[in-house]
Amino acid sequence: MFLTRLRDALTEADVVDDPQIIESYRADHAPGVPAGMPRAVVFPRSAEQVAAVLRAAVAERVPVVPRGAGSGLAGGANAVDGCVVVVMDRMDEIVRIDPLDGVAVVQPGVRNTALREAAAEHGLWYAPDPASRDFCSIGGNVATNAGGLCCVKYGVTRDSVLALQVVLADGSITRLGRRSIKGVAGYDLTGLFVGSEGTLGIITEVTVRLRPLPPPAITVVASMPGLTAAATAVQSCLTTMTPSLLELLDRRTIRAVEEWKGLGLDTSAAALLLAQTDLPGEAGEAEARRLEQTFTEHGALEVYRSETAEEAELLLGARRFAFPALERLGRVYLEDIAIPRGRLADLLAAVERIADRTGAIVGTFGHAGDGNMHPTIVAPWDAPEAGTAATAAFHAIMDAALDLGGTITGEHGVGLLKRHGLAGELDDTARRLHLQIKQTLDPYGLLNPGKALPSMP
Amino acid sequence: MFLTRLRDALTEADVVDDPQIIESYRADHAPGVPAGMPRAVVFPRSAEQVAAVLRAAVAERVPVVPRGAGSGLAGGANAVDGCVVVVMDRMDEIVRIDPLDGVAVVQPGVRNTALREAAAEHGLWYAPDPASRDFCSIGGNVATNAGGLCCVKYGVTRDSVLALQVVLADGSITRLGRRSIKGVAGYDLTGLFVGSEGTLGIITEVTVRLRPLPPPAITVVASMPGLTAAATAVQSCLTTMTPSLLELLDRRTIRAVEEWKGLGLDTSAAALLLAQTDLPGEAGEAEARRLEQTFTEHGALEVYRSETAEEAELLLGARRFAFPALERLGRVYLEDIAIPRGRLADLLAAVERIADRTGAIVGTFGHAGDGNMHPTIVAPWDAPEAGTAATAAFHAIMDAALDLGGTITGEHGVGLLKRHGLAGELDDTARRLHLQIKQTLDPYGLLNPGKALPSMP
Ligand SMILES: Cc1cc2nc3c(=O)[nH]c(=O)nc-3n(C[C@H](O)[C@H](O)[C@H](O)COP(=O)(O)OP(=O)(O)OC[C@H]3O[C@@H](n4cnc5c(N)ncnc54)[C@H](O)[C@@H]3O)c2cc1C
Ligand SMILES: Cc1cc2nc3c(=O)[nH]c(=O)nc-3n(C[C@H](O)[C@H](O)[C@H](O)COP(=O)(O)OP(=O)(O)OC[C@H]3O[C@@H](n4cnc5c(N)ncnc54)[C@H](O)[C@@H]3O)c2cc1C
What is the pLDDT at residue B40? 98
d(C-alpha B372, C-alpha B152), whole Å: 10
Q: Does A437 contact B437 at a Cβ distance shorter than 8 Å?
A: yes
Is the CB of A410 inside a 6 Å radius of any atom of ligand 1? no
The fold of the A329-403 domain, in CATH, is Alpha-Beta Plaits (3.30.70)
From chain A, pick out residues whose CB is under 8 angstroms from the CB of B123: 239-240
Amino acid B349: pLDDT = 98
Nearest alpha carbon, ligand 2 atom 8: B130
| CA of A76 relative to ligand 1 center, distance in Å | 8
Comparing CB atoms, the residue among A155, A192, A414 nearest residue B192 is A192
Nearest ligand atom owner, CA of A132: 1
HSE, side-chain direction, 13 A CA sphere, residue A326: 26
Query: Which residue in chain B has the smallest CA separation from A98?
Result: B342
Element holding B59 (H helix, E strand): helix B47-60
CATH of A94-212, one of 3.30.465.10, 3.40.50.720, 3.60.20.10, 3.30.420.40: 3.30.465.10
For residue B28 and ligand 2, the question of a CB distance below 6 A is answered with: yes
Domain ranges, ordered by start, for chain B: 2-87, 94-212, 218-323, 329-403
Name which of B117, A69, B355 is nearest B364 in CA terms. B355
Which member of A179, A280, A342 has the closest CB to residue B98?
A342
Ligand nearest to the CA of A143: 1
* 3-class SS of residue B353: helix
- Per mean pLDDT, which range of A137-141, A157-161, B69-73, B214-218 is the poorest? B214-218
Does ligand 2 come within 6 angstroms of the Cβ of B421?
Answer: no
Q: Is the CB of B33 under 6 A from ligand 2?
A: no
Nearest to A425 among B156, B174, B185 (CB): B185
Contact: A418, B185; criterion CB under 8 Å: yes
Contacts 24+ apart (CB under 8 A), B91-100: B91/B44, B91/B45, B91/B46, B91/B139, B91/B204, B92/B137, B94/B118, B95/B205, B97/B121, B97/B122, B97/B124, B97/B210, B98/A340, B98/A342, B99/A239, B99/A342, B99/B123, B99/B124, B99/B210, B100/A235, B100/A239, B100/A341, B100/A342
The shortest CB-CB distance from A182 to any of B191, B283, B372 is to: B372
Question: What is the 3-class SS of A398-457, one letter each residue?
Answer: HHHHHHCCCECCCCCCCCCCCHHHHHHHCCHHHHHHHHHHHHHHCCCCCECCCCCCCCCC
Q: How many CB atoms lie within 10 A of CB B331?
A: 17
Distance between Cα A387 and ligand 1 center (Å): 25
| pLDDT at residue number A384 | 80
C-beta neighbour count of B94 within 10 angstroms: 16
Distance A138 CA to ligand 1 centre (A): 8
Domain A2-87 has CATH 3.40.630.30: no
Half-sphere CA count of A259, side-chain side, radius 13 A: 13
Residues A404, B160: contact at Cβ < 8 Å? no
Q: What is the pLDDT of residue A233?
A: 98
Select the residue from A50, A181, A196, A211 to test the B interface by mutation, using most B Cβ atoms within 10 A.
A181
Ligand 1 proximity of A50 Cβ (cutoff 6 Å): no
Q: What pLDDT tens digit does each residue of chain A (457 aa) get?
A: 899 999 999 999 999 999 999 999 999 999 889 999 999 999 999 999 999 999 999 999 999 999 999 999 999 999 999 999 999 999 999 999 999 999 999 999 999 999 999 999 999 999 999 999 999 999 999 999 999 999 999 999 999 999 999 999 999 999 999 999 999 999 999 999 999 999 999 999 999 999 999 999 999 999 999 999 999 999 999 988 999 999 999 999 999 999 999 999 999 999 999 999 999 888 899 999 999 999 999 999 999 999 998 998 888 989 999 999 999 999 999 999 999 999 999 999 999 999 999 999 999 999 999 999 999 999 998 888 888 999 999 999 999 999 999 999 999 999 999 999 999 999 999 999 999 999 999 999 999 999 999 998 7
The answer to whether A182 contacts B151, with C-beta atoms less than 8 Å apart, is yes
Could you give phi then psi for residue B219, rounded to 5 degrees?
-100, 135
Task: Give the pLDDT score at B313.
Answer: 87
ipTM of this complex: 0.96
Among the bound ligands, name the one nearest to the CA of residue A150: 1
- Residue B135 CA: nearest ligand 2 atom is 26
Q: What pLDDT is attached to residue A31? A: 86
**Is A405 in contact with B179 (Cβ distance < 8 A)?**
yes
Q: Is the CB of A44 under 6 A from ligand 1?
A: no
Distance from the CA of A139 to the center of ligand 1, in angstroms? Answer: 8
- CA–CA separation, A182 vs A200, rounded Å? 24
Ligand 1: does its nearest atom lie under 6 Å from the Cβ of A136?
Answer: yes
Q: Please give the pLDDT value at position B1.
A: 86
Of B173, B283, B342, the CB nearest to A279: B283
> What CATH number belongs to A218-323?
3.30.70.2190
The answer to whether the CB of B166 falls within 8 A of the CB of B203 is: yes
* Contact between chains at B189 and A430 (C-beta distance less than 8 A): yes
Closest residue by Cα to atom 21, ligand 1, is A141
Q: Are A126 and A116 in contact (CB under 8 A)?
A: yes
Span from the CA of B71 to the centroid of ligand 2 (angstroms): 5
- Among A28, A136, A161, A168, say which to mutate for ligand 1: greatest number of ligand atoms within 8 Å of CB: A136
Q: How confident is the model at residue B208 (pLDDT cuts 50, 70, 90)?
A: very high
Quote the CA–CA distance of B397 and A249 in Å, as a whole number.
54
Q: Point out the residue among B103, B151, B422 whose CB comes nearest to the CB of A340.
A: B103
Cβ of A430 within 8 Å of Cβ of B284? The answer is no
Interchain CB distance below 8 Å, B182 and A367: yes
Which residues from chain B sit within 8 angstroms of residue A184, using beta carbons? 144-145, 195, 407, 409-414
A245 neighbors A367 (Cβ within 8 angstroms): no
Pocket test for ligand 2, best of B24, B144, B199, B418 (most atoms within 8 A of CB): B144
Q: Is A79 helix (H, G, I), strand (E, B) or coil?
A: coil
Q: Are B348 and B231 in contact (CB under 8 A)?
A: yes
Mean pLDDT for the stretch of residues B53-67: 98
CB contact under 8 A, A342 and B178: no
Instruction: Grade residue B373 by pLDDT with cuts at 50, 70 and 90.
Output: very high
CA dihedral B136, B141, B147, B151 (to 10 degrees): 110
Nearest to A173 among B156, B339, B429 (CB): B429
Which residues lie below 8 Å from residue B69, measured CB to CB, with a gap of 6+? B89, B109, B111, B135, B136, B137, B140
Q: Looking at chain B, which residue has its C-alpha nearest residue A167?
A: B429
CA distance B399 to chain A (A): 14
Round the average pLDDT of chain B to a whole number and report it: 96
Which residues does residue B205 pair with via DSSP β-bridges, in sequence order? B165
Please classify residue B20 by burial: count the beta carbons closer than 10 Å to its beta carbon, then call 0-12 exposed, 13-18 middle and 19+ buried. exposed
Do domains A218-323 and A329-403 share one topology? The answer is yes
For ligand 1, mutation pick of A67, A145, A150, A417 (most atoms within 8 Å of CB): A67
What is the structure's pLDDT at B239? 85
- Global pTM reads 0.97
Q: Are B2 and B18 in contact (CB under 8 A)?
A: no
A125 CA distance to ligand 1 middle (Å):
20
Ligand nearest to the CA of B30: 2
Per-residue model confidence (pLDDT) at position B334: 95
Work out the minimum CA distance from A433 to partner chain B, whole angstroms.
8
Q: Residue B314 has what pLDDT?
A: 86
**Cα–Cα distance, B172 to B166 (Å, whole number):** 8
